[in-house]
Every structure is written in structure tokens, then in C-alpha cells.
Amino acid sequence: MLITTLQAGAQPDVPDIEFTPATNENGSASGSFTAEEIGGKWNITITCNYTPWGGYGTFKVKVETHKDEVIRFITVDGYTTGASTRLHVRGTNQYQACGPVEYIQADMPNEVKLVELWMEGDLGTAPYTGQDVIEGFDQIGGVDIVGDVYGDIVTTGVSQNSIYVIKGDLHGNLIALDGYHRDIKILSIGGSGGNLYGDIIAENGWIKSLIVDESIGSPGAPVNIWSRASLDYLECQDLYANIDTTLYGLSAAIYELRVESADPARGNFEGSINCGYFENADDPNDGNDPARFVITGEQRGEITIARDQLESVDFGTIMADTLFSIGYTLLSKSTMNINGSSTDPKGLKGQIIINSTNGSFSWDGTVKVDGTVLSPVPYYDNKSVDLGGGAVGLVPFSTHRVSCSPVHGR
């Protein structure tokens, strides 16, 4: 049954859609909508027709539905002359979310922003097929989903700085074609959910904070975490990912990466990490707050610093299957502290290569393993067995005088 109304009538389950302002200067309606229920799901099409009074303005569209209602789609089209359109999607009560939504899309020539989406239930439908579940918006303000996401969320605007809270699993990609991702939290509830199975991409911005209660990716199925500018903070219990902050014309930093778990079988990393360098930009003078790289479990993959390593960084363990490369110089003010774990402090089990680009770069900074400085550099005397079995080498390599077989001179 086709329903066209500007107010929720006697049927309390009809979506309540409100336009602010409701009319244009000439008295015409600033927008209209159709809400059609098919198979128990609402198809909502909103057509904007707003011309701001006397210049640029803001046009607000509010969609409120009861959390027991299911929305197949919300489409926002039409135009707003010289104005920004803002969409709010939530429940009929300001303390409640709306119900499940399959997708939300905007198709407007002017700027349109999804200011808030608060919903209970899944966004999209299983299984993940690569379909966009939120598209066409220049900016997303805040998304709060109590459920899983099966689809991609794509934004286009420079001012994009979204905050996502997903209490479930994210099966899909978060893509900011411009702007940045401010905070992404993927949480578990009662042991369910809290996994990221898609890519996080900020093609022209940075990723400020990515917190995942459980795992990022899965064994054999790593996800991509790419940003043009820095990746400030990442936290999860297992990381199966290819992280890259060098793809989009810059070689940006990673500030802090924590892959930790109280479960001794977790805290694992598999994949690759490419960055310009490790740095904590909030601590530019390298005071008490260095960059941090903590992986408490198994590591399999490559970690590449494309340029100079500028600042100090604290590591847990560099595992045997990890190749850690610094493309240029380990600068003199940089200290790599390899602290191991509380049960095994000799944390250098893998290989660290400096000047991996085979240029004329150098090892000027300090490498410490369990508090012991490797010296003299680059041909240090510290034995591999005392470090954890691994080594640090400056390209071009030379054999260690003692940690080799046969020992040098014999």
C-alpha cells in the first residue's frame, strides 16, 4: 500500500519523516516522501526541494521509525539549491534506535550528510556481497549500530570525520574517499561480535583510532587498512591485515599498534605493515611517549618502514617469522626498544634490516634488547643467542664474528 504523508498518523508504525524547515520562502513544501511497505519492509524515498531563504542554509531531514520496523531502503534525492542537506535516522523516541536497515543512499547534486544513524539490528543483509549499504554521502557524523554490518560504507567529502560504533561484526569496508576516519569501534556484546572482516580505507586522510574487541581479519583472509596520512591507534586481539600508510603519495606514520590478548593463544599478527615511520606526533620531542608496536603472540609477515625511522619506538617481541625493514636510516635520536614479554624478555627473534633500500643510509640510532644496547654498531658484539636468536643488520650485510658457524677466524 502506498502511503504519502508528512506526519505519522493513526498508524504508529508508519515512518515519521520531518523536514526542517518544512516550507520554502514561497510557501512550497521543502520536501516530500513516499513510504511503501512491501513484504513487511519499508521502502522510503525522500525527495528534497529546498531553496534556503536568503542564501546558504541547512536543510534537515529526520527519519524516525520504531525499532520493530524494518527498512529496506532510504533514498534521498532531489536537490537543495545552495544548501547542505542533513539526514538523521533514529527511533521514534529520542532514547531509542530505529530497526534494521538494508541500505541508505543519497543521490543529490548538492552536499548531503548523514549526521546520525542509530539503529538496532543489521545494516545490510547477510551474506556480504560487496553492495554499498551507505553511499552517496559527503560526510557521516555518527553511526551507532547494535548489530552486524553486511556491506560497504562509502563517503566522499573532505570534511568527512566519522565516528562509528558497531556492536557486532563488520562484514564490509569503511571507505573515506576524502576526509578521515575519526573513531571506529567494533565491539562485542556478551561474547558475540566484535570482529572486523572488511577494509578500512582513508584515501586522502588518516585513521585516528581503530578499536576492535576481537579480531581484524582472519587467518588466510587478511583485510586492508590503508590511509594516506597516519594511522594513529589500532587495538585488537588478533591482526590479520595488510596495513599501509604509503599508498597515496605520502609515507605516513603509525603511532601505536597493540595486538594483545589475555588468551595465550591469541595476540597474533599475520600480514604486512608498511609505513613511512613509527612516530607519535603528540610527542614530537620524543619525551616519555614513544610510538608503540605491541604484538604479544605469533608474528608472520613483513614490517617495512619506508623511510628514516625518526623517533623512538617500543616493541614487544620481533618474532622469528618477522622481517622488519627500515628503508633508510635509523636516526640518531631513535631508540628501538625491543622489550620482549614478561616471560621471555629476549624479544629479538626475527630479523631487522636497516638501509633495506640499499642506498647510502646508516645505523645511527640505538637498538636495545631487554635493556641491553647493541654495540658497537653496525658490527655489534652481542651474541644472537643472548638477544633471542635474531639479528640486526645494516645493508650491505656482514657476518657476525661470533654468532656464525664457524666462528670468525677459525
Partner 1 sequence: MEYGTINILTARSLGLLAGLTVWLGLASGTALAQDDGFDWATIGDPGNRDTLPDEVPQWSELEIGGVDYEYRIARTELTVQQHFEFVQAYWEYLPRGERTKRAFTGQWIGVAGSMDDPQYYIRSGAAKRPADLTWRHAARLANWLHNGKVMEQWAFENGAYDTSTFGYNDDGTFTDQAERNPDAKFWIPSQDELTKALFWDPAKNGDEGGYWMFPHSKDTVPISGAPWDGGETNAGAHPDDFPPLDVGSYPWAASPWGLLDGSGGQSEWTEFVPDENRSIRVRRGTMEYESFPDHFDRLDQWRSGTPYGVSYGIRFAAAIPSPSTIIPVLLGLSMFTRRRRHR
Q: Which residues bind partner 1 (CB under 8 A)?
A: 58, 86, 93-97, 115-116, 118, 139, 141-142, 144, 146, 159, 161, 163, 165, 167, 182, 185, 187, 189-190, 209, 211, 213, 233, 235, 258, 260-263, 282-283, 285, 287-289, 292, 294, 296, 314, 316, 339, 341-342
Work out how close the CB of 106 gets to partner 1 at its nearest, in angstroms, rounded to a whole number. 16
Cell of 405: 658457524
Largest CA distance in the chain: 97
Give whichever of 344 and 381 is closer to partner 1, judged by the CB atom. Answer: 344
- Are the C-beta atoms of 125 and 147 separated by less than 8 Å? no
Give whichever of 12 and 359 is closer to partner 1, judged by the CB atom. Answer: 12
Work out how close the CB of 347 gets to partner 1 at its nearest, in angstroms, rounded to a whole number. 11
- The DSSP code sequence of 174-200 is EEESSSEEEEEEEEEETTEE--B-S-E
Cell of 352: 631487522
d(CA 385, CA 383): 5
Beta strands in 41-138 (DSSP E): 41-50, 57-65, 70-80, 83-91, 101-107, 112-120, 123-124, 132-137
Cell of 371: 635493556
Give whichever of 340 and 393 is closer to partner 1, judged by the CB atom. Answer: 340
Give whichever of 88 and 400 is closer to partner 1, judged by the CB atom. Answer: 88
Neighbours of 262 (CB within 10 A): 8
Work out how close the CB of 397 gets to partner 1 at its nearest, in angstroms, rounded to a whole number. 32
- Are the C-beta atoms of 240 and 221 separated by less than 8 Å? yes
d(CA 44, CA 39): 14
Work out how close the CB of 338 gets to partner 1 at its nearest, in angstroms, rounded to a whole number. 13
Give whichever of 21 and 389 is closer to partner 1, judged by the CB atom. Answer: 21
d(CA 162, CA 215): 21
Give whichever of 213 and 270 is closer to partner 1, judged by the CB atom. Answer: 213
Work out how close the CB of 172 gets to partner 1 at its nearest, in angstroms, rounded to a whole number. 20
Cβ-based burial of 55 (10 A; exposed 0-12, middle 13-18, buried ≥19):
exposed
Work out how close the CB of 109 gets to partner 1 at its nearest, in angstroms, rounded to a whole number. 21
Work out how close the CB of 289 gets to partner 1 at its nearest, in angstroms, rounded to a whole number. 5
Work out how close the CB of 408 gets to partner 1 at its nearest, in angstroms, rounded to a whole number. 37
Give whichever of 50 and 363 is closer to partner 1, judged by the CB atom. Answer: 50
Q: Which spans in 255-389 are helix H?
A: 384-387
d(CA 401, CA 407): 6
Give whichever of 12 and 287 is closer to partner 1, judged by the CB atom. Answer: 287
